[in-house]
Amino acid sequence: MDVFFQQLVNAIVLGATYGLVALGYTMVYGIVQLINFAHGEIYMLGGFGALTTYLALPSGTPAGIALPLMLVGGIVVSVTAAVIMERFAYRPLRSAPRLAPLITAIGVSVFLQELVRNFYPNAKAARNFPQLVNPDYQVKLGSSVQISAPQLLTVVVALVGMVTLSTFVRRSRTGRAMQATAQDPDTARLMGIDTDRIIVTAFVLGAALAALAGVSSGLQFGQVDFHMGFITGVKAFTAAVLGGIGNISGAVLGGFTLGLVEVMATQYAPDPFSGGAWKDAWSFVVLIIVLVFRPTGLLGERVAARA
């Protein structure tokens, strides 16, 4: 039983990262119906932003000061990139056919990867990330169930991010304007909502959450690399679709579901299809089954009502 609970912990850690990144996909999709394939790169830039901040700090800065600064640095870089991306790559195509911004998103994704690969010092291979939170420090949750300090941090950061976002969208004026824009952009504009500003807000919030995920990934694995956004981006997109793209709670649920499927498939899948190499295949099996019975995803019906 201990193995099961340990795997559950692993699943929650993995799902937290997927969920954080998935939120960015789902918010942007909910408002402009754009699948922002460059969102994985925003996550990657968050990691590099934090690394740059760390390198700029005088050596010997205590972790308690360095860590918040790194989070801020990562968020600043991600948000800046997302705002520029929205302004110059997506906004001119707002009224273009749906495929144009999609292809643009893929182009932006390649561009950002190559930008880091070619111009960030020594980023052609993985760069070591400072391990400010000791991964050898294990918090005991049971007789043999444990969670390492950076994993715990990942979960805490993700939960705080998710709760903050949800409160913001439901309670604040801008949040309600976001919901209105998602439901009907034209009417929202007629009601005096600056939809351009709302769209930028969606990109900014998504980028900030992705940056949190990028930094915690760096802390957890001790490295960041230029293509780390690709796999995580694909997984998070899958999570968003699984949960019902456009739905904020759906992205979180989808993230945790995907994490759970991957981890449990690694542990319990039947023999010829067992092990880590098959976990992605199992994830997509689950995705297909969900989409067959609920084409709009787990929590997708509200999207249907919206659109």
Which stretches of the chain bind another protein, using CB under 8 A? Answer: 3, 6-7, 10-11, 13-14, 117, 124-126, 128, 135-136, 138, 146, 148, 151, 217, 220-223, 225, 227-228, 231, 262-263, 266-267, 275-280
The least distance separating another protein from the CB of residue 112, rounded to whole angstroms, comes to 15
Smallest gap from Cβ 136 to another protein, in A, equals 5
- CB-nearer residue toward another protein: 85 or 265: 265
Distance in Å, CB of 137 to another protein, minimum: 9
Decide whether 89 or 135 has the Cβ nearer to another protein: 135
Q: Which CB atom, from 86 or from 225, has the smaller least distance to another protein?
A: 225
Where are the strands (E) in the chain, listed by range?
A: 127-128, 138-140, 146-148, 223-224
At its nearest, how many Å lie between another protein and the CB of residue 222? 7
The span from the CA of 23 to the CA of 86, in Å, is 17
Owner of token pair 């304007």: 177
Backbone angles phi, psi at 6, to 5 degrees: -60, -40
Question: From CA 182, how far away is CA 163, in angstroms rounded?
Answer: 20
Q: How far is the CB of 4 from another protein (least distance, A)?
A: 9
Q: How far is the CB of 143 from another protein (least distance, A)?
A: 13
Summary count for the chain: helices (H), strands (E): 12, 4
CA distances from 13 to 8, 32, 147, 158, 260 (A): 9, 30, 9, 9, 10
Select 45 or 133, whichever has its Cβ closest to another protein. 133
State the minimum distance, in angstroms, from the CB of residue 156 to another protein: 17
88 or 137: CB nearest another protein: 137
Residue 297: CB minimum distance to another protein, A: 24
Give 84 or 156: the residue with its C-beta nearer to another protein: 156
Distance of CA 8 to the CA centre of its chain: 20
Q: Other C-beta atoms within 10 Å of 242: how many?
A: 29
Query: Residue 75 class from Cβ within 10 Å (0-12 exposed, 13-18 middle, 19+ buried)?
Result: buried
Determine contact, residues 206/23, Cβ cutoff 8 Å: yes
Q: For another protein, which is the closer residue by CB, 85 or 239?
A: 239
What would the DSSP string read from start to end of 73-99?
Answer: HHHHHHHHHHHHHIIIIIGGGTTS-TH
- Backbone phi, then psi, for 143, in 5-degree steps? -60, -45
Nearest to another protein of 200, 264 (CB atom): 264
